[in-house]
Structures are given as structure tokens and as C-alpha cells.
């Protein structure tokens, strides 16, 4: 119709919908990318609250490549519960050899790495029991990212600390965290270090849960 000499024409529905179709076409690649990222995170077993970082996997072959394939087929890349179930028979076997409480060792691994064999700390400690490079060399541990080797070496080291401090659990744990020299320097007491004191308390608190669950 004509109003005040001006012509108005009804727009085609196709023209009205054109901006929406254009936006959808532009957004599709981004949506596919986000979906792919979500599948990758699910495959690697990422969990809320976990500080594990799979970027720390070293580029080497051998036992490491066979034990923890990057394709995500290893059970060690499963959920926290699955990793705990996987670690329990190994920890029980190695703990019995060192006369240690396996539930206590399970609690230590929970606090140290949340049973993630690929975790590394800012200080360079690596693997399930967070063994640093110096201690790894002393223990003959060539690959700290190999779960079984890491547990065997870490539990052997923990057992030696138990003997050093007359099987005093608190001192053994403090020495594992801060080093035996600091425990000796503190008069064979838990050092006045907040991190170490919190570590000892956390491990002892978690040990009851693992004792009820596995023993």
C-alpha cells in the first residue's frame, strides 16, 4: 500500500531468516571443535578437582610407552576409583614386604598424587608417590612414571624411613615429606613446617577410609 507517497513492500520470509542461517553456519565449526575437546577430556579421565596434567608425559618409549599409551587405553587413565582399585594389589604386596600398613600407603598415594601416575610437582617430584630425581637415583628408579616401579621404589623408601624412626608413623611420614634430615634436626619430632604437618594429618585421616574399604 502507499502512505504519504512512500511505498512499503512486505519482506520475504527467506530474507528475514537469512541472518539466522548465516550465524548458524558460522557457529557450526566452533561447536564441532568444542565437542571434540569434550571427548578428549573424557577419554583421558579428567576429574573435577584433579591437578593431574597429562602434558607431563615424557616423549620416550620403552616401559613407559607400553604401560601408559597416549591413546587412552590404559586403565591408569580411568576414574579415581578405578585407579585406586588398580593400585591396591600392588601396594598391598609391596607394603607387606616392608612390614607397612597398606592402607596407610594408599592414603599417602591419595594425598601425593590422587593415584595419577603422570603427575609432576613444581619441584620435579614425579609419579604416584611423587619421588624426586635425587631419591629416584638413590633408589635406582629409572622411570618414575611407570606405576609399578614407582610404587615399589617409593614403598621401599618409606619402609627404610620407618626403620630409621623406630616405626613411628608420624615421624616416618614427616620424613617422607620433608626429608629425614629435617626430622633429625627437629629433635626427632615432626618439623615446624606447615606443609609437612598438614601432610602427616591428611595421610593419617585418609588411612581409616582405605582400611575400611580394602581390609
CB neighbours (10 Å) of residue 77?
A: 22
Helices (H), the chain: 13-44, 63-67, 80-97, 102-113, 133-139, 147-164, 169-178, 180-185, 194-214
Coil, strand or helix at 7: strand
Q: In the chain, what is the straight-line distance between the N-terminal and C-terminal CA atoms, in Å?
A: 87
- Which of 42, 47, 96, 112 is labelled catalytic? 112
Cα–Cα dist 107/115, whole Å: 10
Is 98 a catalytic site residue? no
φ/ψ (deg, to 5) at 196: -70, -45
Q: What is the dihedral of CA 106, 149, 132, 123, to 10 degrees?
A: -70
- Residue 18 CA, chain-centre distance (Å), reads 49
The residues that are catalytic are 112
Amino acid at each position: 500500500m502507499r502512505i504519504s507517497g512512500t511505498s512499503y513492500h512486505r519482506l520475504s520470509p527467506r530474507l528475514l531468516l537469512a541472518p539466522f542461517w548465516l550465524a548458524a553456519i558460522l557457529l557450526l565449526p566452533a561447536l564441532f571443535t568444542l565437542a571434540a575437546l569434550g571427548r578428549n577430556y573424557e577419554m583421558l579421565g579428567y576429574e573435577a578437582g584433579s591437578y593431574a596434567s597429562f602434558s607431563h608425559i615424557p616423549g620416550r618409549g620403552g616401559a613407559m610407552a607400553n604401560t601408559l599409551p597416549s591413546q587412552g587405553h590404559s586403565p591408569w587413565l580411568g576414574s579415581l576409583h578405578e585407579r585406586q582399585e588398580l593400585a591396591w594389589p600392588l601396594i598391598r604386596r609391596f607394603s607387606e614386604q616392608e612390614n607397612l600398613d597398606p592402607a596407610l600407603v594408599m592414603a599417602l598415594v591419595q594425598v601425593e598424587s590422587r593415584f595419577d601416575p603422570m603427575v609432576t610437582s613444581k619441584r620435579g617430584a614425579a609419579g604416584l608417590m611423587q619421588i624426586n630425581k635425587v631419591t629416584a637415583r638413590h633408589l635406582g628408579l629409572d622411570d618414575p612414571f611407570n606405576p609399578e616401579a614407582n610404587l615399589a621404589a617409593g614403598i621401599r623408601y618409606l619402609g627404610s624411613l620407618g626403620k630409621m624412626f623406630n616405626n613411628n608413623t608420624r615421624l616416618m611420614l614427616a620424613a617422607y615429606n620433608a626429608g629425614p634430615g629435617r626430622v633429625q634436626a627437629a629433635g626427632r619430632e615432626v618439623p615446624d613446617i606447615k606443609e609437612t604437618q598438614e601432610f602427616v594429618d591428611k595421610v593419617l585421616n585418609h588411612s581409616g577410609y582405605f582400611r575400611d574399604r580394602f581390609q
